[in-house]
Structures are given as structure tokens and as C-alpha cells.
């Protein structure tokens, strides 16, 4: 056989080593070619009496990230092709047969009569971990980077190569469902405790131990294929079963609002499968998987949260003309909550950090924040004490600007005041190397205006972090009028180094994410002033797919900040740019009631020191009109919240703030949680069709005002029957700062 993706070697004891090492890739993936080659190896093993067992390992740093989701996209598209030529029934059958090939291969391995052992080092996720689950023994390394898991739910799918069915037979159903619904990456010791793996060993001992297990007579039959097998949690139709599945369904609906068909299908697969023999249970799993695979939710989530996100993370927007740029040391001016967080993620990426503030105490407090964050990771077993010490050793806290002299990049994270930022620019540029890049972390101030304080605006770029920095995955890079390609390129390289996802936006008021977020919060404020009950606003937002309601979100970002934005908007754009109802609400809350949000434990919600937050009862007293919730159209409220954000996203494309539609969708989900099941606001518009969306927005405009009027771009897409991705493409040329 031709060995391309796997290398095989048969030793004197008849043990076949299968090393997965795909050429030209940094990580192994389950592509169509790799699956076909593995199937050929499996047939060879089953048919060759000289082969007594198999050890599967990786020739790369990680075992595998799982299936190539672009391959799954192709299977999903097969439905449309087959339906057009052979009809709906034939199309559904074609997708079913194609999508179950990997499941059938793993079942063949499992029942081949030869013991297979998976030796796992690094990440082993998705379809790769399903391969490991089909093996008869699993050994993982104790390396800190090693993780196993089934994260398919995060891209609108569920484990469909036997993973759902096997996990449900290995764990009690409540544990299995929790693992499958969360999609978390699991550390070696926890995986061993859960009995998902059999041993945890140093990397250099794994292969030897795997071979010993085979030599010692390792069993090539899974428990569920033996007579008398009993489910870990007992039968479905039992007292424990009744204590598991009804609550699981309730939890699913509470957490997802039934917006995720993959999770609903996964619950059904587990419930039905545990009542069936293994092979029939796998067939049920495959049928549900084929149906979910061709769902619009899966298509949208795969494209945005895997394909587009991966492309952006790999530098799709890096200017072509910019070569390799040095990035070893980063300076951060401002050691407050934001700056300290930036320092922490930078040091964690292995970069040297100079953390500057007005005096030594202030700078030290910033470093203490990093120490607190990394110590929490140590306590959870995610990093070692020596790694913590090394990280802290990379952070130099000082009030001395001269320490920035040899930095490749300096990021200011001081107060949102142009005068304060201008003073920092002057102090930094007095000591900074000529070839270094200066970045301003700002969420509200235009970069072009800030760059006027710089002597070299072509090396000045905006970097907008989201709070808290250590948890939020998105970073907006803002290109000013004179920002050069090298400044953008280094900023992109930096964001990639700290393992976050960048989107590149042109300079404008509010950039991209904040414009959409402000539209979302405005709609929540206006609903409240109209008399909609506050609890209904928040619950409808969750039903729409948002992670938190607009009132809760406003509390997080601070009500007084919202009032400052209103004041600055009036100063720059005039009275017509300010909604009087919103202004009255916020002025009452901030100036009369002293309610600033979570930061002072009083906002739209009350935040007791002990216990959960709850909506402030006084909100009802602020409503001049009180509407009966029974008379309100929930669908209309839900549409208002989503359409307001989607319209703003469409405007940013028309205005050239967003120049790559992938970034609007990725940025919306990662930045402010726009209903992930939709794939993002532009994908949501595309899925329903621009014409239908324009009709929906127009109907809302007739009732609620001109803010719901569609822009010229949307009207043109609707008139021509086009989509955002169809017109602008999912992939565009790499960004040029000068474009």
C-alpha cells in the first residue's frame, strides 16, 4: 500500500506501529484521503495473521484536531447536488451513506479481532478521539498540553463517528450527557478518572507500554460486545433513567432555548441508543448525524466558527507586502485592569513584557493581577509552579519609560481621554526605536485622531481588546488613515502569538463590535421605556440566542459609560444622533439613582455580596407605561433585538468599516455573542434571504422607527437576489492597510 498520511512498521512480535504524520500540515486531520488510507490499514490488519495488534500514535506535536470540517461541508453540499439530479430521498440517502463511512470504519476496527491501542500525546479531539474510543486501550501522556474531548457541539454538530454512542456506554448517562453537551477539552488525569482513558504515562513510556499490553494478551473485545454487558447507569427505563433524561431535556432547553438541533439530536441518540444493540445504535447515531449535517445551523456554524475563524487565525488578513517582523518584547503603558490583562496574555504567549505605570506601586499592582490569574491556573492543575514563575519572570513592572527602548511593540491602555493618550504617545516615542510599532487600545476613540499626536502615524495602529482580556477571544485591529502595512502586519502577528482571533476594521466611530452592541442595548432600553417588562426583555434576548440580555450586558460595561457615549455622540454629531428616551432612562439611573452597573452593585440589576443578581424592582416605577406581557408578540421582540444588530453589521460593510464578510460574522459571535447558531449577523441575513430580511426590517420600521430602515446595500442585494457571501466572497485578498 502507499503510505502518505500514515507510516507503518511491523516489529518482530507482530505489533504494527501506525504513525499518523500527514505531510505539509502542522496538525493531523481526518481528511477523505486519510480516512481511506486508515481503512486500508485496518483491512490489512484484519486479514494478516502475522499482525497481532496495532499501536496508533502521532508523528507531530499533537495527536489530531479531528475531522477536516471542510470535508464535512462537502458532504453537506452533496445533498443539494443529489437532490437536483436524483430527488430528495436519494439525496438524503447519499448524505447518510457518505457521512457514516468513518463510523463504519471505527466499528470495523473495534470488531476486527485484533487489539488496537491509541498512544496519545498533545490534543486529541473530535473524530480523532472517536478513533481512540474505538481502540481497545488508550494511553495518554502526562504532558501539560495533552487534552482529549469531543467539541463538535461548538460548531453545530455532535460526535457522529460513534463517539456519542460509545461515551454513553462508558459513563453513567448524566456524566456522558454533560461531557457531550459541554464539548470541553479534558486533562489526562480527569480523563483517567472518568475512565475515558486507561493509563497516563510520560511520553517516552507510552509506546513501550502499549506494546506490552498487546503482548500480555490485551483483549480485542469491547465490554458492550460481550454477553451480559450492563450499562453503567442502568437501563433507560429505570428509576435512575427517569432521574436523568427528563432533567437533561429541561437543562438543554434552558441553556439553548432549543436553538441547537445538534444537541437536541444528541440527546435523542443517547436515549434511543442505550435501548438498542451496538450496531443498531450506531445506525441511529448516523441517521441523526446526517440530518444535522445538512441543517442550516451546522452549515453556518462550521463556516464561521471553523473555516472562517481558522483562516483569520492563520493570517488571512496579513498584508502581502509585509515580511517577517521582530516580535520578542512588548511594552504596555497603563497597568490597570485592562493593561494588566494584556500583559498577562502577552507573557503567557512567551513574550517579554514591560509594564509601565505612573509609579512603582501602580506598576506592581498590574503584575500582581497577572500573578493572581496564573496562580488560579496552577490551582486548577492547568500549569505548573515553574511555568508560573517563568511567566512572572517575563514581566518587568516599572514607572520608567526608558525601559520601553528595545520593545518591538508598545500598547497604551490608559484612560479613554485623547489628551492623556497624546501625552503617553509623546513619552513613548521619545524612547522608542524607529522601527517599532505603537498601538492604542481604545474602544471609542478614532485611531486617526489619536495618531495626530504621533510623529510617525504610519507606524500607529489601533488594538481593541475586549474585557476580560484573558477570557475574550476577539481583538479588533483598527486601521487609521495613515496606518502602514507593517504596523498592521505586526499587530496581526501579535494577536496570533497571544492565541486570539483578529478582525481588521477601518477607523470609524465605535469600530465594528461596539456599533452592533450599542444597537442591541439601545433596543433593550427602548423596550423598557415602552413598558415591556424587564424580565421579558432579558428572557426574549436569551430565546433569540444571545448569551445575556441587553440590560445585563449594559450593567457589565457600565451605565455611566453609556451616558458618556451619549454625551460624546451629541458633541460630535448633534442632538439628532441621540435617542431622547434612552438618554432620559440612563440619566435617571446614573444621576438620580446612582446606579452605575455591576461595578457599584447597582444597575438594571441588584448585585448582593451573597447570592445571585436580580432585576432591580425599581425599574417598574420608571416605566410611564406598563404593557401586559400576555399581549406582546414575542417573535417581534426577538426580531427587534437581532435585526437591530444585523442592520448595523450590514451598514459597516456598506461603509467599508468591514471589508471582509468573514470578519463581521466571526467578530459578532466572539466579540458580543451574536446568536452563534446563526453563524453571525450576515450569515443570518443570507440564510433567510436579503429580500425577506428587508421586508422584516421594513415592517419593524413602520412600527418602531427609521432605525430599522435597510441601507442601500441591503436593498440592492434584495433586488438582485444576492447574498453577502455570494457577492463579497468568503475569502478575500489579504488586507492592505493602505487600501
User: Domain of 441: which CATH number?
Assistant: 3.40.50.720
Residue 733 pLDDT: 36
Tell me, what's the pLDDT at 383? 84
d(CA 443, CA 423): 18
Q: What are the C-alpha distances in Å from 91 to residues 78, 96, 189, 261, 291?
A: 7, 9, 44, 20, 11
- Cis preceding-peptide flag for 468 (omega within 30 of 0): yes
Cβ atoms within 10 Å, residue 102: 25
Residue 639 shares a structural domain with residue 608: yes
Question: How far is it, in rounded angstroms, from Cα 240 to Cα 344?
Answer: 45
Same domain, 134 and 206: yes
528 and 589 belong to one structural domain? yes
Instruction: Annotate 382-399 with b (16+ C-beta within 10 A) or e (fewer).
Output: ebeeeebeebbebbbbbe
Q: Are residues 555 and 680 in the same domain?
A: yes
Q: Are residues 131 and 271 in the same domain?
A: yes
CATH number, residue 110: 3.90.226.10
CA distance 452 to 474: 27
Q: Is residue 735 domain-resident?
A: no
For residue 445, the model assigns a pLDDT of: 85
Judge if 429 and 444 occupy the same domain: yes
Q: Which of 495, 510, 525 is the last residue of a domain?
A: 510
DSSP 398: E
Grouping H, G, I as helix, E, B as strand and the rest as coil, residue 162 is: coil
Between CA 286 and CA 296, with CA 290 as vertex, the angle to 5 degrees is 150
Residues 382 and 262 in one domain: no
Instruction: Give CA separation, 692 vs 161, 194, 378, 642, 701, in Å.
Output: 37, 49, 52, 14, 14
- On whether both 221 and 283 belong to a single domain, the answer is yes
Is residue 426 domain-resident?
yes
Domain with residue 682: its CATH number is 1.10.1040.50
For residue 54, give the H/E element and its range: strand 53-58
**From CA 664, how far away is CA 658, in angstroms rounded?**
7
13/76 same-domain check: yes
Helix (H) or strand (E) holding 425: helix 418-429
Residue 486 shares a structural domain with residue 459: yes
Domain edge (last residue) among 510, 538, 553: 510
Does residue 78 lie in a domain region?
Answer: yes
φ and ψ of 263, to 5 deg: -70, -40
Q: What pTM value is reported for the model? A: 0.91
Is 433 found in the same domain as 373? yes
Domain match, 538 and 499 both: no
3-state helix/strand/coil string of 231-291: CCCCCCCCHHHHCCHHHHHHHHHHHHCCCCHHHHHHHHHHHHHCCCCHHHHHHHHHHHHHH
Considering the domain boundaries, does residue 182 fall inside one? yes
C-alpha span between 389 and 376 (Å, rounded): 13
Cα gap 173→151, rounded to integer Å: 18
- Spatial distance between the Cα atoms of 353 and 392, rounded to a whole number of angstroms: 9
Identify the three-state secondary structure at position 163: helix
Pairing of strands 395-398, 352-356: parallel
User: Of 489, 510, 531, which residue constitutes the final position of a domain?
Assistant: 510
Give CA–CA dist 380/184, Å, rounded. 15
List per-block mean pLDDT (blocks of 10 residues) for the chain, which spans 739 residues. Answer: 91 97 94 96 97 97 92 86 90 92 98 98 97 98 94 95 97 95 94 97 97 97 96 91 91 93 96 97 97 93 93 94 92 96 97 97 96 93 90 97 97 91 96 96 89 96 94 96 96 97 93 95 98 97 96 94 88 90 96 95 96 96 94 97 98 96 97 96 97 98 96 98 90 38
Query: Is-contact 553 613, C-beta < 8 A?
Result: no
The DSSP result for 618-663, as a single string, is: THHHH-SS---GGGS-HHHHHHHHHHHHHHHHHHHHHTTSB-SHHH
464 a catalytic residue: yes
Predicted pLDDT at 736:
37
Name the residue among 66, 64, 36, 38 with its Cα closest to residue 120: 64
Asked if residues 351 and 327 have their Cβ atoms less than 8 Å apart, the reply is yes
Selecting among 136, 464, 525, 704, the annotated active-site residue is 464
322 part of a folded domain: no
Beta partners for residue 138, in sequence order: 118
Residues 6+ apart with CB under 8 A from 631: none
Interhelix angle 337-348/385-393, rounded to 10 degrees, is 120
**Count of domains forming the chain:** 3
| 446 contact partners, CB below 8 Å, separation of at least 6 | 480, 507, 508, 509
Residue pair 152/158 in contact (Cβ under 8 Å)? The answer is: yes
Contact 305, 676 (CB under 8 A): yes
Amino acid 305: pLDDT:
93
Q: Which domain holds residue 155?
A: 6-294
Assess if residue 446 is contained within a domain.
yes
Amino acid at each position: 500500500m502507499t503510505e502518505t498520511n500514515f507510516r507503518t512498521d511491523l516489529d518482530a512480535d507482530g505489533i504494527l506501529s501506525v504513525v499518523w504524520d500527514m505531510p505539509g500540515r502542522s496538525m493531523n486531520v481526518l481528511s477523505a484521503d486519510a480516512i481511506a488510507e486508515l481503512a486500508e490499514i485496518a483491512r490489512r490488519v484484519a486479514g494478516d495473521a502475522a499482525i497481532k495488534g496495532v499501536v496508533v500514535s502521532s508523528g507531530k506535536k499533537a495527536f489530531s484536531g479531528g475531522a477536516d470540517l471542510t470535508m464535512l461541508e462537502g458532504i453537506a453540499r452533496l445533498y443539494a447536488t443529489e437532490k437536483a439530479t436524483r430527488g430528495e430521498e436519494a439525496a438524503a440517502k447519499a448524505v447518510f451513506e457518505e457521512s457514516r463511512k468513518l463510523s463504519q470504519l471505527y466499528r470495523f476496527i473495534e470488531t476486527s479481532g485484533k487489539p488496537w491501542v491509541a498512544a496519545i500525546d498533545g490534543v486529541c479531539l473530535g473524530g480523532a478521539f472517536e478513533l481512540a474510543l474505538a481502540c481497545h486501550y488508550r494511553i495518554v501522556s502526562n504532558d501539560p498540553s495533552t487534552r482529549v474531548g469531543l467539541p463538535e457541539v461548538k460548531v453545530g454538530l455532535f460526535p457522529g463517528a460513534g463517539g456519542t454512542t460509545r461515551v454513553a456506554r462508558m459513563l453513567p448517562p448524566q456524566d456522558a450527557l454533560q461531557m457531550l453537551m459541554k464539548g470541553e477539552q479534558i486533562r489526562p488525569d480527569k480523563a483517567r478518572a472518568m475512565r475515558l482513558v486507561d493509563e497516563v504515562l510520560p511520553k517516552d513510556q507510552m509506546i513501550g507500554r502499549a506494546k506490552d499490553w498487546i503482548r500480555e494478551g490485551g483483549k480485542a473485545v469491547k465490554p458492550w460486545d460481550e454477553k451480559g454487558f450492563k450499562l453503567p447507569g442502568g437501563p433507560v427505563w429505570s428509576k435512575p433513567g427517569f432521574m436523568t433524561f427528563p432533567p437533561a431535556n429541561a437543562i438543554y432547553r434552558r441553556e439553548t432555548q432549543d436553538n441547537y438541533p445538534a444537541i437536541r439530536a444528541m440527546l435523542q441518540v443517547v436515549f434511543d441508543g442505550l435501548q438498542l444493540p451496538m450496531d443498531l445504535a450506531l445506525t441511529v447515531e448516523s441517521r441523526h448525524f446526517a440530518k444535522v449535517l445538512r441543517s442550516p445551523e451546522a452549515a453556518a456554524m462550521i463556516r464561521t466558527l471553523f473555516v472562517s475563524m481558522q483562516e483569520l487565525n492563520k493570517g488571512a488578513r496579513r498584508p502581502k507586502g509585509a515580511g517577517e517582523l521582530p516580535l520578542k518584547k512588548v511594552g504596555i503603558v497603563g497597568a490597570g485592569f485592562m493593561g494588566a490583562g494584556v500583559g498577562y496574555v502577552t507573557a503567557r504567549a512567551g513574550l517579554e513584557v514591560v509594564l509601565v505605570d505612573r509609579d512603582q506601586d501602580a506598576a506592581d499592582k498590574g503584575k500582581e493581577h497577572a500573578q493572581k490569574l496564573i496562580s488560579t491556573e496552577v490551582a486548577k492543575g492547568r500549569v505548573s509552579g515553574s511555568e508560573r514563575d517563568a511567566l512572572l519572570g517575563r514581566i518587568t513592572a516599572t514607572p520608567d519609560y526608558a525601559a520601553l527602548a528595545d520593545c518591538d511593540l508598545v500598547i497604551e491602555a490608559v484612560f479613554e481621554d485623547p489628551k492623556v493618550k497624546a501625552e503617553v504617545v509623546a513619552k513613548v516615542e521619545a524612547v522608542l526605536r524607529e522601527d517599532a510599532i505603537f498601538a492604542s487600545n481604545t474602544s471609542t476613540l478614532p485611531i486617526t485622531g489619536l495618531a495626530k499626536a504621533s510623529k510617525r502615524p504610519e507606524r500607529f495602529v489601533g488594538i481593541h481588546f475586549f474585557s476580560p482580556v484573558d477570557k475574550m477571544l476577539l481583538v479588533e485591529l483598527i486601521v487609521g488613515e495613515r496606518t502602514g502595512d507593517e504596523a498592521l502586519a505586526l499587530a496581526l502577528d501579535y494577536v496570533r502569538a497571544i492565541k486570539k482571533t483578529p478582525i481588521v476594521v477601518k477607523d470609524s466611530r465605535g469600530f465594528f463590535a461596539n456599533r452592533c452592541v450599542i444597537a442591541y442595548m439601545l433596543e433593550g432600553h427602548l423596550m423598557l421605556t415602552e413598558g415591556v417588562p424587564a424580565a421579558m426583555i432579558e428572557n426574549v434576548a436569551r430565546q433569540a440566542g444571545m448569551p445575556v440580555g441587553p440590560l445585563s450586558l449594559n450593567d457589565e460595561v457600565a451605565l455611566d459609560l453609556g451616558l458618556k457615549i451619549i454625551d460624546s455622540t451629541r458633541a460630535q454629531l448633534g442632538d439628532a444622533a441621540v435617542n431622547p428616551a434612552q438618554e432620559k432612562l440612563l440619566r435617571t439611573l446614573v444621576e438620580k439613582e446612582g446606579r452605575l452597573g455591576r461595578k457599584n452593585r447597582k444597575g438594571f440589576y441588584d448585585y448582593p455580596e451573597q447570592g445571585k443578581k436580580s432585576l432591580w424592582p425599581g425599574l417598574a416605577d420608571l416605566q410611564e407605561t406598563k404593557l401586559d406581557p400576555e399581549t406582546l408578540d414575542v417573535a417581534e421582540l426577538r426580531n427587534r433585538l437581532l435585526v437591530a444588530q444585523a442592520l448595523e453589521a450590514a451598514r459597516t460593510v456598506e461603509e467599508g468599516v468591514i471589508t471582509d464578510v468573514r470578519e463581521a460574522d466571526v467578530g459578532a459571535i466572539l466579540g458580543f455573542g451574536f446568536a452563534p447558531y446563526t453563524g453571525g449577523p450576515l450569515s443570518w441575513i443570507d440564510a433567510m434571504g436579503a429580500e425577506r430580511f428587508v421586508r422584516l426590517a421594513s415592517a419593524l420600521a413602520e412600527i418602531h422607527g427609521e432605525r430599522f430602515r435597510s441601507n442601500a446595500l441591503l436593498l440592492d442585494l434584495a433586488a438582485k437576489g444576492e447574498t453577502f457571501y455570494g457577492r463579497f466572497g468568503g475569502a478575500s485578498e489579504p488586507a492592505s492597510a493602505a487600501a
